[in-house]
Each structure stands twice: as C-alpha cells, then as structure tokens.
Chains A and B, each alone.
Chain A
Amino acid sequence: MGFPISAALLDSMVLAIVEKEDTYGYEITRNLREVADVSESTLYPVLRRLQKNMLLETYDREYMGRNRRYYRVTAKGITALDDYRAQWQHHKEMIDSILEK
C-alpha cells in the first residue's frame, strides 16, 4: 500500500483489535497483517509501549500446556482509543474533502 502507517495509527489499530476481545501477540499480528504491511518487529515495541503507558495490560492463561500472554485494554486505553477514533475521523474528513470528487 502506498500510504505509510504512522505510530499513532498503529497504536490505535492495536488498541481497537484488543478492545474487541482480549487476545495474544500472534493473533494481533495476524489481524493487523490482513490490512497492513506490518513486520513482526514493529508490533512488539508497540505492544510494550502501550503496556508501559498503561493503555494495555497483560495476563497469562494456560493453553495447551504453556502460558499464553493475553492483552486487555485498560480504562485509560479506552479513553485513548476514543480520542484516537475522533482524531482519525477528523483526519479522514480533511483528506476526503480534498480527494473526493
């Protein structure tokens, strides 16, 4: 795709994926990769950053004899996501106002 995905956009996409349901790293990557060309190496830093800023939190759940680390959106994360959505809406309208015929 011709348009690069900014860090803020990546943050909001990850938050939105986890908001739908709690999920784990591999699954988040798979979801993201369906719509964007994101490498594995980009996702871990994003998750870690969101976690350190307390927008995401983790918990472990057993799956087939090993622990899977699940991510969950915090209250702060939901506020941030709402904010991102509003910003994105605004951004989209601005771009569209020029692009659309």
Chain B
Amino acid sequence: MNRTEFMSALEKRLSPLSDEDREDALRYYDELFDEAGPIDETKILNDLDDPDTIARQILADNGIDPDGRPQFMIDDVITPNQSGSNPPPPKSTVDQFKEDFGRMNRNTKILLIIALLIVTSPVWGGILSGILGLIFGLMGIIFGLVIAFTAGGVGLVISGIVYLFKVPPIGLCILGVGLIVIALDILIIFPLLKWSVGLLIKFIKWAVDTIRGMIAKKQQA
C-alpha cells in the first residue's frame, strides 16, 4: 500500500461522516505524509495503523457504529462464493405492498393516499359530518339558550320598570321574574357556554394534532 491507496481507502471508510469531519481527518493524515516526505513514506505507513482501524476509531468517536453501515468495508467483507446462506423467505402480500410503497417517491405516495381517501370518503365522510353536525347542533342549542335567557331577562326587567310607574305591584312582579331569569342566565347558562366552548377548542386542537401526527408519520415513512 502506498500513500494514495492509503488515503483513498481511508476516504472510502469515512464516508458515513459529515463532510467537515471527513475533510478534517483526511487533511490530518495527508499532512502527516507531507511532513514525513517521500523518503519516509514507507516508515510512516508502517507507523500508522491500517486505514480500517483508523476509520473505526474515528467513526466510533463520532458516535457511528462502523459495522452498522453496509457501505463500510463492503469491498473487504463481500467476497464471491461466500454467500451460502438460505434464500430469503417468500414475502406476504402485506410485506410486498409495504416494500413497493417504500420504493415509491413522495408525490406518488401523496397521490395514492388522496385517492384512497376519496374512494373511502362515503364511510368516513358520513361519520365526520355526523360528528361535526352533532357538535354544531349542541353549540347552537347553548347559544340559543344564552340569547333567550339574556334577552328575556333584560326585556322583563325593562317592562317591569315601565309597569312600576303604572301599576306598581305588577311592575314589581315582572321586575322580580326578570331578575330571576338574569340570575339563572349568569349562574347556569354562562358557565355552560364557557365549558362547551372550552370543550370545542380542545376538540379542534386534538383533531389538528392528530392530523398533523398522521402527516408527520407519512412523511417519515
């Protein structure tokens, strides 16, 4: 092995590293050869461990398992007539689909998912609109209650005050009922509204998070 062979062997084995880390390491060893000069080239080659050992050490220092990467030492490990292992077992349809799916590019995957969603839309579309309808219906009821109680209470109080000057006993009665209605509005209906709005916000957040999670997972795949 000479200098050029040493350097190219080292470079090949350091391929899992980032460009910066690899350049730095190669530069260091290149410089050692420069310092030793052409006469001492053999001496430095003897002093140095083989590129494989050096690369292992550097990869390990960078948190990369040298043997976890198939491209590492591929030229040394794979020799012909050594593959006496069993043929791989036949794949199930699901595995085959997974493999095919994994090989598609991103755009194809997205198109496939959209097509799948459209085809199955009668099922989940119905369920989804059902749930949405239920939620909006309940919200409508609660809003209706709020408006009815508030408007009713305020109206009764106003007419109570008006009657107070015409027929005081009836005016007092109407005013009292109006105040009771407003009290109920504040005590029961408003908390109900607050609670249901909070629930709706939580639901929307949950739905958004779920969809985001699904998209993130799809992109990882």
Contacts and interface: CB of A to CB of B under 8 A. Distances in A.
A66 interface: yes
A49 B58 CA distance: 10
Contact of B61 (A27, A48, A66, A69): A48
Contacts of B34: 66
B56 to A, nearest CB: 9
Given A48-B24, A49-B61, A69-B27, A40 B47 contact: yes
Interface in A1-58: 24-27, 29, 39-42, 44-45, 47-49
B70 to A, nearest CB: 24
B61 A26 contact: no
Main secondary structure of the interface of A (DSSP, over half): helix
B28 A41 contact: no
Contacts of B177: none
Contacts, number: 49
A69 B57 contact: no
Contacts of B47: 39-40
B64 to A, nearest CB: 13
B54 interface: yes
Residue in A25, A44, A68 whose Cβ sees the most chain B Cβ within 10 Å: A44
B48 A26 contact: no
A44 B25 contact: yes
Nearest to B53: A41
